[in-house]
């Protein structure tokens, strides 16, 4: 007997929301590129959470493994990660997605302004699309994405068990150094824009 | 506090060593220029006292070696009364102060206190202003979050924190932070002020830097 998907027959709706959000981000990219000559987005990833991870998450959260849990209680069945060039682009994309017709922001966490103690920086937002599908959007710059990806690759928590204090401290130092470069690059870009504006006047 | 004392006259060396130890300093006494140089490169000191006239290597030669290795440890020179040229070349070679022999022990101790105090106040450790902590050892700036600063950003912010709520003009900052380097201009200062403004915002600090391009800058507390 074939096991039924935890998503029931809702997979096509999830796909549709995922594709719509991706198309919207593409539209924004083109508009900004035409206007300012710069693509605000470096790359963009999207996924529907796999059957296994969704069931695992239900168990972890103490929820029954039902379609109701997967679609209504857990909010990242649809997940989109937007990696931007500059810090200001994170907020540009955030504002654009939040103002789309039919999209409502139900939760957001700014871990860029308020970094996690380990140095993690990213902007998290849950959108409710057309009142029936939730999507989790993660927005961050290339440097922030670099840190998050490399930190994930290290898997030091499992191999080292204890004694991770120095490693955690050093990883946080790397995050703070990358954040510093991010702010400097943003400042340089703002300065270039200002010089261009002064010239055009 | 650890002091390197280079003085070839054994009796005088002994007297100064005992006096400094009595004041609570840790002292490494040496008796010629070569020894002084070797010690200066092997250990960290908070102050170096160098007699100018020493066998093997003069105090000024030792001083030049130390400074050419980019060491900024304060140096006090001991000179004979007649040696005006020595005092001038000593200060030019990077000495921070000098004392003419014969001197009163009281005065030597007062100068040592003054020179080591300067380091304690402006050097290592932590500086605080408003919700900010600036860590000199890690070049780390902390408020709600933390961020790392570059050397020039650190020196600029350190200067601002040491003169809080006061207008510092671009010329002063160019002199103090950039040592009037030929490639540094008022735009350089402006860009580094802009870096710091971005970094203050990124750690959610309510400390602001006021001022316009080319003018004066003022560090102040300004909650949103």
ipTM of the complex in this document: 0.72
What are residue B5's DSSP bridge partners?
B29, B49
Give which of B147, B150, B186, B204 to mutate to test A binding, by max A Cβ within 10 Å. Answer: B147
Whether the CB of B144 is below 8 Å from some CB of chain A: the reply is: yes
Query: Is there a contact between A86 and A101 (Cβ–Cβ < 8 Å)?
Result: no
Q: Are residues B41 and B80 in the same domain?
A: yes
Chain B residues whose beta carbon lies within 8 Å of the beta carbon of residue A113: 145, 202, 204
**pLDDT, greater one: A56 or A155:** A56
Q: For chain B, give the longest Cα–Cα distance.
A: 64
Write down the pLDDT at residue B40: 87
Chain B residues whose beta carbon lies within 8 Å of the beta carbon of residue A182: 202
Locate A129 and state its tokens. 């699309």
Residues A174-198 pLDDT 10s? 999 999 999 999 999 999 988 888 8
Give residue A1's pLDDT band: very low, low, confident or very high (50, 70, 90): very low
Sorted by where each starts, the structural domains of chain A and their CATH numbers stand as: 11-142 (3.30.460.10), 147-200 (no CATH)
Apex B27 CA angle, B24 and B29, nearest 5: 150
Whether the CB of B139 is below 8 Å from some CB of chain A: the reply is: no
Q: Tell me the average pLDDT of chain A.
A: 92
Q: Do A191 and B191 touch (CB under 8 A)?
A: yes
**pLDDT, greater one: B166 or B106:** B106
Whether the CB of B133 is below 8 Å from some CB of chain A: the reply is: no
Residues B75-99 pLDDT 10s? 999 988 667 888 888 889 899 999 9
Of A113, A176, A188, the CB nearest to B204: A113
Answer whether residue A162 shows pLDDT above 70.
no
Give residue B51's pLDDT band: very low, low, confident or very high (50, 70, 90): very high
Contact partners, residue B154, CB within 8 Å, separation at least 6: B134, B136, B139
Q: Are residues B113 and B32 in the same domain?
A: yes
Please tell me the least confidently modeled range out of A100-109, B40-49, B193-202.
B40-49
Q: Are residues B7 and B118 in the same domain?
A: yes
Q: Are residues B100 and B10 in the same domain?
A: yes
Q: Out of B88, B122, B156, pick the residue that ends a domain.
A: B122
Torsion sign across C-alpha atoms B84, B88, B89, B91: positive
Whether the CB of B204 is below 8 Å from some CB of chain A: the reply is: yes
Mean pLDDT of A96-104: 96
Whether the CB of B138 is below 8 Å from some CB of chain A: the reply is: yes
CATH code of residue B161 = 1.10.10.10
Q: Are residues B91 and B168 in the same domain?
A: no
Q: Are residues B110 and B92 in the same domain?
A: yes
How far is it, in rounded angstroms, from Cα A187 to Cα B160?
Answer: 20
How far is it, in rounded angstroms, from Cα B57 to Cα B34?
Answer: 6
- For chain B, the domain total comes to 2
Q: Is B70 helix (H, G, I), strand (E, B) or coil?
A: coil
Q: Considering just the CA atoms, what is the radius of gyration of chain A in Å?
A: 19
Q: Are residues B36 and B24 in the same domain?
A: yes
Q: Are residues B8 and B85 in the same domain?
A: yes
Of A180, A186, A191, the CB nearest to B147: A180
The total of other beta-carbon atoms located within 10 Å of residue B70's CB is 6
Query: Is there a contact between A147 and A178 (Cβ–Cβ < 8 Å)?
Result: yes
Q: Which domain holds residue B209?
A: 126-221
Q: Do A187 and B198 touch (CB under 8 A)?
A: yes
Q: Are residues B106 and B42 in the same domain?
A: yes
* DSSP calls for B156-187: HHHHHHHSTTS-EEHHHHHHHHHTT-TT--HH
Q: Are residues B48 and B106 in the same domain?
A: yes
Q: Are residues B45 and B148 in the same domain?
A: no
Q: Are residues B108 and B130 in the same domain?
A: no
How far is it, in rounded angstroms, from Cα B10 to Cα B189?
Answer: 51
Whether the CB of B165 is below 8 Å from some CB of chain A: the reply is: no
Q: Out of B107, B122, B137, pick the residue that ends a domain.
A: B122
CATH code of residue B7 = 3.40.50.2300
How far is it, in rounded angstroms, from Cα A173 to Cα A168?
Answer: 9
Q: Cα distance from A6 to chain B (closest Cα, Å)? A: 40
Q: Out of B86, B106, B122, pick the residue that ends a domain.
A: B122
């Amino acid at each position: 007997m074939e096991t039924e998907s935890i998503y029931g027959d809702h997979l096509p709706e999830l796909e549709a929301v995922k594709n719509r959000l991706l198309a919207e981000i593409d539209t924004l990219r083109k508009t900004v590129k035409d206007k300012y000559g710069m693509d605000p987005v470096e790359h963009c990833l999207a996924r529907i959470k796999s059957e296994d991870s969704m069931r695992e998450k239900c168990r972890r959260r103490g929820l029954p493994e039902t379609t109701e849990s997967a679609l209504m209680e857990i909010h990242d069945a649809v997940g989109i990660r937007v990696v931007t060039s500059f810090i200001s682009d994170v907020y540009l994309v955030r504002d654009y997605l939040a103002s789309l017709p039919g999209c409502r922001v139900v939760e957001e966490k700014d871990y860029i302004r308020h970094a996690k103690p380990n140095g993690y920086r990213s902007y998290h937002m849950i959108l409710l699309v057309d009142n029936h599908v939730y999507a989790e959007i993660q927005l961050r710059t290339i440097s922030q994405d670099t840190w998050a990806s490399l930190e994930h690759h290290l898997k030091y928590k499992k191999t080292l068990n204890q004694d991770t204090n120095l490693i955690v401290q050093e990883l946080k130092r790397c995050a703070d150094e990358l954040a510093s470069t991010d702010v400097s690059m943003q400042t340089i870009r703002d300065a270039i824009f200002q010089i261009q504006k002064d010239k055009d006047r | 506090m650890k002091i390197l004392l280079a003085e070839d006259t054994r009796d005088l060396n002994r007297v100064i060593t005992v006096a400094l130890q009595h004041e609570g300093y840790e002292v490494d006494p040496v008796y010629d220029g070569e020894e002084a140089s070797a010690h200066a490169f092997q250990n960290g000191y908070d102050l170096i006292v160098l007699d100018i006239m020493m066998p093997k290597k003069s105090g000024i030669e030792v001083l030049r070696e130390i400074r050419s290795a980019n060491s900024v440890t304060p140096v006090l020179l001991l000179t004979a009364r007649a040696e005006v040229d020595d005092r001038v070349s000593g200060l030019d070679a990077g000495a921070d102060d000098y004392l003419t022999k014969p001197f009163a022990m009281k005065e030597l101790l007062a100068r040592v206190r003054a020179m080591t105090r300067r380091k304690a106040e402006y050097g290592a450790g932590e500086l605080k202003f408003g919700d900010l902590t600036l860590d000199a050892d890690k070049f780390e700036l902390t408020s709600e979050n933390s961020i790392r600063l570059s050397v020039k950003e650190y020196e600029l912010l350190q200067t601002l924190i040491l003169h809080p709520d006061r207008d510092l003009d671009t010329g002063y900052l160019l002199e103090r932070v950039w040592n009037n380097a030929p490639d540094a201009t008022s735009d350089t200062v402006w860009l580094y002020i802009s870096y710091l403004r971005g970094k203050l915002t990124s750690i959610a600090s309510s400390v602001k830097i006021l001022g316009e391009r080319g003018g004066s800058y003022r560090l102040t507390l300004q909650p949103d």
